[in-house]
């Protein structure tokens, strides 16, 4: 797991809100090229790498997405602070008090700040604890000497500049991994580590396999195009959602049977279950009620494939997330076992 965790730490510390993924995709292209692969950059900033297999008549495709939640500058307020517009499906409560970075489009520079309620001080605002956390009340306090809109604009900040959140990635001695954007940088780290391992061990997979790192999953249309026509099995490696009525935990791999888009392919799901039981890989079956994946996006776009979804169990998804190394290991083992297995 050492290399997987190293990749994870690197990935979480590269800002990549949806729409601003150039830096992380540049890193990915360079890393894959260094490993000896020939990755291709798609027009919408995805990265696709093809690994030739023993059988080239039918292909597999695996996805993980590298875009994350984030925000954009919506307006510059009269006092020089920033109003935000959210990118991705999360609530303002999840980012209150978070340090952030404004990526200034005009200059290419970055400016740090903190996301706070306007009514922050309990010594001044009677409704500091009860005011709604929404676009009107939440703002970015810049770490610059600004007190007016003109002073903030003089820094180069403009509407449409991207805002990324401090990931605060921590690996504990007890095996927990705490960070923003574990969705879905855990899975991207797993796929990167498998690609590195296969290259180092001269592993030949049974089928030609495409590894697709997408960049628009958080807004619903990541890996729904650039799918080679020979692909018959499509596996999204994403995350398992935890909460009330959920079976997913932080210590097993979660296999999704249904999400907000509907059921996943029964035969491919059962194949994953059989492989997990055969290799004694701990797993849970689960339904994610308010969720969609790159696989479901591909199906909506008309892909003629069998689709499935699995991933590490992520606590507090779309907030300050957490998982355990046991779940990461179980997920990596099942993906590796699947890639070396016969097609259904």
* Residues designated catalytic: 217
- Alpha-carbon distance 149 to 163, whole Å? 18
Distance of alpha carbon 36 from the chain centroid: 25
At residue 30, φ and ψ (nearest 5 deg) are: -65, -40
Answer yes or no: are the C-beta atoms of 332 and 8 closer than 8 Å: no
- Alpha-carbon distance 323 to 23, whole Å? 25
Answer yes or no: are the C-beta atoms of 202 and 16 closer than 8 Å: no
Side-chain-facing half-sphere of 170: CA atoms under 13 Å: 10
């Amino acid at each position: 797991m050492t290399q997987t965790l190293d990749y994870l730490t690197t990935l979480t510390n590269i800002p990549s809100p949806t729409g601003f993924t150039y830096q992380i995709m540049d890193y990915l292209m360079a890393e894959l090229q260094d490993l000896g692969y020939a990755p291709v950059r798609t027009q919408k900033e995805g990265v696709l790498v093809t690994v030739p297999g023993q059988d080239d008549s039918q292909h597999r495709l695996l996805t993980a997405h590298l875009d994350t939640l984030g925000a954009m500058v919506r307006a510059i307020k009269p006092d020089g602070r920033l109003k935000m517009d959210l990118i991705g499906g999360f609530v303002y409560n999840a980012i209150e008090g978070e340090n952030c970075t404004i990526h200034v489009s005009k200059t290419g520079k970055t400016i740090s700040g903190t996301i706070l309620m306007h009514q922050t001080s309990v010594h001044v605002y009677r409704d500091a604890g009860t005011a709604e956390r929404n676009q009107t009340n939440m703002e970015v306090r810049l770490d610059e000497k600004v007190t007016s809109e003109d002073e903030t604009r003089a820094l180069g900040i403009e509407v449409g500049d991207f805002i990324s959140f401090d990931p605060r990635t921590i690996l504990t001695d007890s095996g927990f991994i705490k960070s923003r954007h574990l969705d879905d940088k855990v899975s991207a780290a797993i796929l990167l580590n498998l690609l590195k391992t296969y290259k180092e061990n001269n592993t030949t997979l049974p089928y030609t396999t495409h590894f697709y790192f997408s960049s628009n999953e958080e807004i619903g249309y990541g890996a729904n195009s650039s799918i080679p026509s020979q692909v018959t099995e499509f596996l999204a490696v994403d995350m398992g959602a935890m909460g009330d009525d959920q079976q997913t935990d932080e210590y097993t791999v979660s296999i999704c049977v249904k999400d907000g888009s509907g059921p996943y392919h029964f035969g491919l799901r059962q194949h994953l279950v059989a492989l997990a039981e055969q290799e004694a890989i701990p797993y849970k079956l689960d339904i994610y009620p308010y969720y969609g994946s790159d696989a479901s996006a591909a199906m909506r776009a008309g892909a003629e494939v069998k689709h499935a979804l699995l991933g590490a169990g992520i606590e507090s998804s779309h907030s300050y997330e957490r998982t355990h190394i046991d779940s990461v290991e179980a997920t990596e083992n099942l993906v590796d076992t699947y890639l070396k297995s016969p097609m259904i």
